[in-house]
Structure 1
């Protein structure tokens, strides 16, 4: 299992060499990996059917209780099979679609890394490793969306997707930590098997909000849906993989995975239902009102993601059965339709549906495949999409919350989706012929095998629904439900309410399709007006605000004045320290000066006098001399309190420092009034404040001791363990040898830097 998850990363390393060896067949060669993984994951189905789940463990960081554990049950296996099987055809498709591209090897490196990240995400049992793979999908998808990096709009879309999903990822990290605190474990299997009522925990609300923020941004739920259509800037193979089985389904997976543990609370269910329904309607409307074939498919994906989220929120056994069926049906037809969209773009030179038409004659095989996939999307029998839609309507009719409203919303969305299916299949192939930039002809075999297999699979699952049901779907529903569920998938259940609703949606959808040309101008005007106030406009305003704030803080705080930097740093640091000291400890001065001697007071007064003179004199030489007096006074203090080593070191350092400063004085300009009296008094006040706080902190620290002093340990063991009687030296070279080694390394590195600068300066002087 570990090799299966990481194999994509390993193969990605070898891609450049394989590309040179296989040439134009690189896609077929690389597809052998996901094909093999499909066989491997399929071989686990009997064990999952028998045992319910498998937990495969690998130690990673045992000291931190972090392991590479993999949880294989019905849900994770469905996702793994979708990723590997669809990924096989995506890699084959990519080799044909991007044939001859100068960055083809780079593309496959990213695709394999993306695929491996998704495997890790859906199979991880540990919350920490799950989050690591979650973020890897964000990074690799960003690189794939921005693959055509020379285009500024592509880079902008990639950054938008990265900002939105990574921001949600930060919230998800907090939510997963809260979940681990609530359950007492970072293991998903332990959390799911626990009988704890997590919805009664004090952290439940915060955990749900954080987790849903992460899943909603990843799966493009309203109001975060705007980034997904813009991700269509990626090459079509990326879009097909991202929409059918990977990136956007990651959030759906995590919601389904955590549903047994978090679904008992009303906050979870009602939030999912509300946002899911809103996303379903928004995606369906925007899909029908767009003209670019990839944008149409992207918005219809948003509709499907909203539907899946809503079904998890409804949470009944029937709704969760509909969830799994709709998930599989959508993956099959959406992967096929995106690859068909890429074939149309590749062969006609345009993505605009209004320009396409009559392509059935030039592209007959493509037309048949597209019709099969579109029929499944529209929910017509005998495709698997019909079974999923029937289950959707039936589960909403029996929903325990908002049944009537959700059913009406689902019918409206299904009606619009019928129109969308017609736009991507009927209009390009059976509509009025248009003038395309390229003369259309049939796509190559490598671009058709994938959509053909996926479409035929959707047809097979529709005709023989007990085949996927018995194999894995029933186990997947049990994983999402948290208990065994009896399912009954069939193509025909008689004349009932779901069938009647399905017929109504088909008829109304066909009517909308017939009126699409007349409605398009109005829909475009509505979308243009609404876009000025939509969430994407808010995103750009937010980014603009960040830029304004950054410019302001750069102008005010990072203006190049070193003194101001130091002032702010000292004021903030000691301000927070002083506040904490007052609120958490208080000022309890218990000074006992009875044992102090007159010479100690003399040294203290000398230190104060030297510091004051150094700060106020206009003589640089006098300032340096007074600083030397200050250093020598500190050295004398060390000697008085039995630290001769430190005293000698201090004397050497101060002597060298004074000599260097005196030598530098001759290179400095004359004194000048570079600051106003206000600035000087301000600096004086901050300096006095910092000194007072530091003094109080030191005095307070004398009264605080959380652990027994380690001094006695050093005294007892310096001679016996380290064979040295000079305790300070023993500490430096034995007990804290790594600290000393680090300091030596830092000093050596600094010396090398100085040497490099000196040599560079010398070389510049010798140049003519």
Structure 2
């Protein structure tokens, strides 16, 4: 399992070499990896029927962090979708981006993206889940901005990164709270504990943080705007992103934690409310858009809202609908996005309003598109029909807000029927459109993926017992948190869900026929709303960040070294002093009874040299007094039985004074002296820092939270390291790697200095 998860990263390393060898067949060659993963994950189908499997690999055992993988119905469903659809995406990308100068780079990032997503859905450890979670954000950022020479692509990539990474920070806080609440990093242990987490004091805060991460990742309102903008990515990225990877990560997280967190009413209301709002918002914008990729992107937003809403409903029927809708959406959305890329590739436009009558030039594409759109609209005999019927039935039986959720679902279904008409009827039927390129059929590599995914959706619709017995029951049990028993069928007779579907079909077709007339009005409404919507708020926040950054740069990072030191010292010692006062207070004991007159003499010498160095106007006098200060410290080391430290201090101080004196002769005269205010300000900060560090040192001597480790070194220096100089033994034996690292750094510095001297010598000898 560990090799399966990391195989994408390993293959990505050799992609540039494989590209030079395989040439135009690179997509087919790389697709062998996800195809092999499909075969490997399929071996777990029979095993997960008996319960989840936990595969353990040690990673950081000292911190209790392991690379544990949880294989159950839910994670296996996602793993099969990721690797299965990924197989066709890689084949499709090889044809779609054929001849692209950065094709090898694209496949490197795509394989890393696929591996990150596999690690996320299979991870059993909250820490590793978060690591893979952030890796999906980083790799998706690189994929969205793949056309880096395009300003719009870079802008959209940054937007997606900012939104999802901000949510990732909230997710990290939520995972930490969840660990505190349950006492475990293990997801399987959290799910199996049976503890009433919803009664914990941190429950509400944890849910808010976790949902913030999930909502930003899965484009829930009000974070939905970044996903359609991610269409700046090449179409293979969009197809993979929307069908099986990035945006499904948040859905997976909510489904995974539902058995543990779903007992609380707060969890259910949050998911149902935001899910329903997202479902309606996505359906509205999908129907009112003209670019085919934007239409499909917003229909993904609709589907993500539907999935979130179903998790919130929480019943056994809703969980069954959730899994079916998840699979149906992955199948038809992957097919439709690849077909959208084929249309763009072969006609030269993404604008649906410019397309028409393409069925004669692109008959295979038209046939696949019609069947995929039937599944999108939820019509028989596609699997999307079964998922839609289950969704409506579960909402009719919802324990909360049943009527409102049904109305929202029907309104969304009406709009999505219109959307299905836009992607399946408008481009291929009616009057031929005016396209920039003469349309023709897409190559085989761009059609095999949509064809296979659509055939699977048709087979699952006609024979729903195939996925039901193989995987669906185990997947539903994983989300529901208990064993389930259900039976899927294409026909359940005339019932309320069927009647609601019929209503949505009829009204949706009427809306589709009216689309050419009402589309300008829809555009005007969307434009007006965009000026005050969430995306406008995002840009306002980014402007505010820029203003604040500009201000702090002018004030703090203004090129004056003294200001840098002042801020650094004030903030560091201010926070340290506050922490000391808050946690300990100032109640140390200072016993001076055993002090000697020569110790007082050394202390007075140190103070006098520091005062003189700070007040003198002579550079040379300041350097000399700092040398006296250093020699006084060395004398203190010698008096307190640390001659080796004293010798080191003497050598360092001597060398420092010599170097500073030599440098002084090269420095220009002072141009401007500091003002009295600046000097008193610096004096106040210095006195504050000195008092703080003194109090901290005295507190350290007075406080001891743990047993001192010096006893161990005293007892073991001679027996284990055969040395009686404890400091040397620590440096050479007990902390040998630290010393080795310091030697390595000094060696690099010496090589750097030598290189600079040689370059200067060569320049001097040039004519």
Question: Structure 1's 233 and 767: CA in aligned 2 closer, same or farther, altered over 3 A?
Answer: same
Q: Tell me the CA shift for residue 656 of structure 1.
A: 3.0
Deviations 1:450-491 (A, max 9, x none): 212222222221122222212211221111101111212111
* 2:48 matches 1:34: no
Aligned residue number for residue 466 of structure 1: 465
Q: Secondary structure at the match of 1:590?
A: coil
Question: Structure 1's 587 and 231: CA in aligned 2 closer, same or farther, altered over 3 A?
Answer: same
Aligned residue number for residue 57 of structure 1: 56
Distance in structure 1 (CA, Å) of the matches to 2:196 and 2:292: 46
Distance in structure 2 (CA, Å) of the matches to 1:242 and 1:701: 54
Question: Structure 1's 595 and 164: CA in aligned 2 closer, same or farther, altered over 3 A?
Answer: same
Aligned residue number for residue 377 of structure 1: 376
Distance in structure 1 (CA, Å) of the matches to 2:647 and 2:57: 54
Aligned residue number for residue 199 of structure 1: 198
Q: Tell me the CA shift for residue 41 of structure 1.
A: 2.1
Question: Structure 1's 449 and 681: CA in aligned 2 closer, same or farther, altered over 3 A?
Answer: same
Distance in structure 1 (CA, Å) of the matches to 2:444 and 2:656: 78
Question: Structure 1's 234 and 663: CA in aligned 2 closer, same or farther, altered over 3 A?
Answer: closer
Question: Structure 1's 219 and 759: CA in aligned 2 closer, same or farther, altered over 3 A?
Answer: same
Q: Tell me the CA shift for residue 721 of structure 1.
A: 4.1
Question: Structure 1's 605 and 319: CA in aligned 2 closer, same or farther, altered over 3 A?
Answer: same
Identify the range of structure 1 (683-692 vs 249-258) with the bigger mean alpha-carbon deviation. 683-692
**Any residues of structure 2 matched to 1:34-113 within 5 Å, and which?**
34-49=34-49, 51-113=50-112
Q: Tell me the CA shift for residue 354 of structure 1.
A: 0.5
Q: Tell me the CA shift for residue 525 of structure 1.
A: 0.6
Aligned residue number for residue 188 of structure 1: 187
Q: Secondary structure at the match of 1:427?
A: coil
Identify the range of structure 1 (692-701 vs 214-223) with the bigger mean alpha-carbon deviation. 692-701
* 2:21 matches 1:21: yes
Identify the range of structure 1 (197-206 vs 603-612) with the bigger mean alpha-carbon deviation. 603-612
Question: Structure 1's 707 and 287: CA in aligned 2 closer, same or farther, altered over 3 A?
Answer: closer
Q: Tell me the CA shift for residue 745 of structure 1.
A: 3.5
Distance in structure 2 (CA, Å) of the matches to 1:374 and 1:682: 71
TM-score (norm 2): 0.96
In the comparison of the two structures, how many residue pairs are matched? 767
Q: Secondary structure at the match of 2:426?
A: helix
Q: Tell me the CA shift for residue 523 of structure 1.
A: 0.6
Aligned residue number for residue 658 of structure 1: 657
Q: Tell me the CA shift for residue 712 of structure 1.
A: 4.7
* 2:617 matches 1:618: yes
Contact 2:279 2:303 in 1 (8 A): yes
Q: Secondary structure at the match of 1:71?
A: strand
Q: Secondary structure at the match of 2:669?
A: coil
Distance in structure 2 (CA, Å) of the matches to 1:388 and 1:244: 16
Question: Structure 1's 704 and 377: CA in aligned 2 closer, same or farther, altered over 3 A?
Answer: same
Q: Secondary structure at the match of 1:221?
A: coil
Q: Secondary structure at the match of 2:71?
A: strand
Distance in structure 1 (CA, Å) of the matches to 2:710 and 2:433: 89
Distance in structure 1 (CA, Å) of the matches to 2:731 and 2:556: 40
Q: Secondary structure at the match of 1:389?
A: helix
**Any residues of structure 2 matched to 1:286-325 within 5 Å, and which?**
286-325=285-324
Q: Tell me the CA shift for residue 117 of structure 1.
A: 1.8
Identify the range of structure 1 (123-132 vs 383-392) with the bigger mean alpha-carbon deviation. 123-132
Distance in structure 1 (CA, Å) of the matches to 2:723 and 2:717: 6
Aligned residue number for residue 477 of structure 2: 478
Q: Secondary structure at the match of 1:661?
A: helix
Aligned residue number for residue 531 of structure 2: 532
Aligned residue number for residue 584 of structure 2: 585
Ranges in structure 2 where 5+ consecutive residues have no aligned partner: none
Identify the range of structure 1 (380-389 vs 100-109) with the bigger mean alpha-carbon deviation. 100-109
Distance in structure 2 (CA, Å) of the matches to 1:165 and 1:46: 36
Distance in structure 1 (CA, Å) of the matches to 2:112 and 2:706: 48
Deviations 1:17-44 (A, max 9, x none): 3333332222222222222222222232
Q: Tell me the CA shift for residue 385 of structure 1.
A: 1.2
Distance in structure 2 (CA, Å) of the matches to 1:26 and 1:603: 75
Question: Structure 1's 695 and 519: CA in aligned 2 closer, same or farther, altered over 3 A?
Answer: same
Q: Tell me the CA shift for residue 211 of structure 1.
A: 1.2
Distance in structure 1 (CA, Å) of the matches to 2:649 and 2:46: 75
Q: Tell me the CA shift for residue 96 of structure 1.
A: 1.8
Distance in structure 2 (CA, Å) of the matches to 1:486 and 1:453: 29
RMSD over aligned Cα atoms: 1.9
* 2:221 matches 1:222: yes
Ranges in structure 1 where 5+ consecutive residues have no aligned partner: none
Q: Secondary structure at the match of 1:78?
A: helix
Question: Structure 1's 605 and 116: CA in aligned 2 closer, same or farther, altered over 3 A?
Answer: closer
Question: Structure 1's 292 and 703: CA in aligned 2 closer, same or farther, altered over 3 A?
Answer: same
Distance in structure 2 (CA, Å) of the matches to 1:26 and 1:250: 28
Q: Secondary structure at the match of 1:429?
A: coil
Distance in structure 2 (CA, Å) of the matches to 1:712 and 1:65: 28
